[in-house]
């Protein structure tokens, strides 16, 4: 009986197939942290507000400078001293911090809300990003916008003759600036998760963020208030952010600096945990 040709049980692969397999084998896998995905989302959020920087960065700088001009003209100039500095120098750091916080809130309260309204929220939920990575990218972009706004306002205020901004404690400027911006970034993300339309986000801005900002000690010190109102003001976390940020510039404050850092850290942890749990649950995000 003639020999039959033996079947090849392991057929040879074509060069194209082998190249494809080698490419897939060399492709990097996602580790414990998806750094590439998180940085891509962060850069996407940063580019979004950089494209309209006249509105998102320079317009707040001009608005804050107008605040400074109006209040220094209305409240008086000359030898009027608060915490050892003139009125304009006292007001300037608080106005910078207030603008940083409101713009951080505006940035983080926009993206997710727009995604929900336009039906593109899947672009945030489908990529291989954990809830923590998503949270860090969105809040990190909000903090970046706040720091850019703060730098722009600092530069603009240098043209006002009565402002003499030196930096007494750079670490305090950095710590309180980042903690304040992160706190409002978390608040903005919570708002965007809860809100179902722009009116809801505007309501939080007008009835929560702005009152807390204006009643935070930006324009006065706590020792000028009656005891009852001073007690209420001490429950406002914005007060510790602004007073600590001002301390970094003028070296004086009406709070205990270590207590201010601890309070802001506590608020950031609570707000960050709330954001994480809501993102993980998918509340108002997933059908």
DSSP secondary structure letters along 81-102: EETTEEHHHHHHHHHHHHHHHH
The pLDDT of residue 80: 72
The pLDDT of residue 17: 64
Residues with Cβ within 8 Å of 26's Cβ and at least 6 positions away in sequence, in order, are none
Residues with Cβ within 8 Å of 152's Cβ and at least 6 positions away in sequence, in order, are 57, 58, 60, 61
CA-CA distance, 266 to 262, in Å (whole number)? 6
CA-CA distance, 119 to 124, in Å (whole number)? 11
Phi, psi of 116 (to 5 degrees): -65, -40
- pLDDT per residue as tens digits for the range 53-70: 999 999 999 999 898 888
CA-CA distance, 162 to 72, in Å (whole number)? 9
SS (H, E, C) 112-177: HHHHHHHCCCHHHHCCCCCHHHHHHHHHHHHHHHHHHHHHHHHHHHCCCCCCCCCCCCHHHHHHHH
The pLDDT of residue 15: 65
The pLDDT of residue 13: 62
Tokens 């940020």 -> residue: 245
The pLDDT of residue 3: 53
- The series of mean pLDDT values per 10 residues for the chain, 287 residues long, is 49 61 56 89 95 94 90 70 87 94 95 88 88 96 97 90 88 97 97 94 94 89 82 91 95 93 97 96 87
């Amino acid at each position: 009986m003639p020999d039959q040709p033996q079947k090849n049980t392991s057929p040879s692969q074509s060069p194209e197939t082998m190249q494809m397999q080698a490419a897939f084998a060399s492709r990097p896998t996602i580790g414990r942290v998806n750094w590439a995905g998180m940085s891509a989302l962060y850069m996407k959020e940063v580019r979004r507000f950089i494209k309209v920087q006249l509105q998102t960065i320079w317009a707040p700088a001009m608005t804050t400078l107008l605040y400074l001009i109006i209040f220094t003209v209305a409240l008086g100039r000359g030898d009027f001293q608060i915490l050892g500095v003139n009125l304009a120098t006292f007001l300037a750091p608080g106005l910078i911090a207030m603008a940083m916080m409101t713009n951080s809130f505006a940035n983080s309260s926009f993206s997710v809300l727009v995604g929900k309204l336009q039906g593109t929220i899947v672009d945030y939920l489908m990529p291989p990003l954990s809830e923590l990575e998503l949270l860090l990218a969105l809040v990190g972009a909000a903090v970046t916008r706040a720091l850019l706004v703060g730098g722009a306002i600092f530069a603009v205020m240098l043209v006002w003759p009565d402002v003499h901004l030196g930096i007494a404690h750079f670490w305090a400027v950095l710590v309180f600036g980042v903690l304040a911006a992160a706190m409002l970034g978390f608040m903005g993300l919570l708002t965007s998760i809860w809100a179902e339309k722009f009116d809801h986000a505007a309501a939080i801005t007008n009835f929560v963020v702005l009152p807390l900002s204006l009643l935070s000690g930006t324009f006065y010190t706590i020792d000028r208030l009656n005891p009852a109102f001073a007690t209420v003001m001490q429950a406002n976390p914005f007060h510790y952010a602004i007073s600590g940020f001002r301390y970094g510039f003028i070296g004086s404050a009406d709070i205990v600096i270590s207590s201010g850092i601890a309070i802001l850290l506590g608020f950031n942890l609570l707000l960050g945990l709330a954001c994480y749990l809501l993102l993980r649950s998918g509340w108002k995000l997933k059908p």
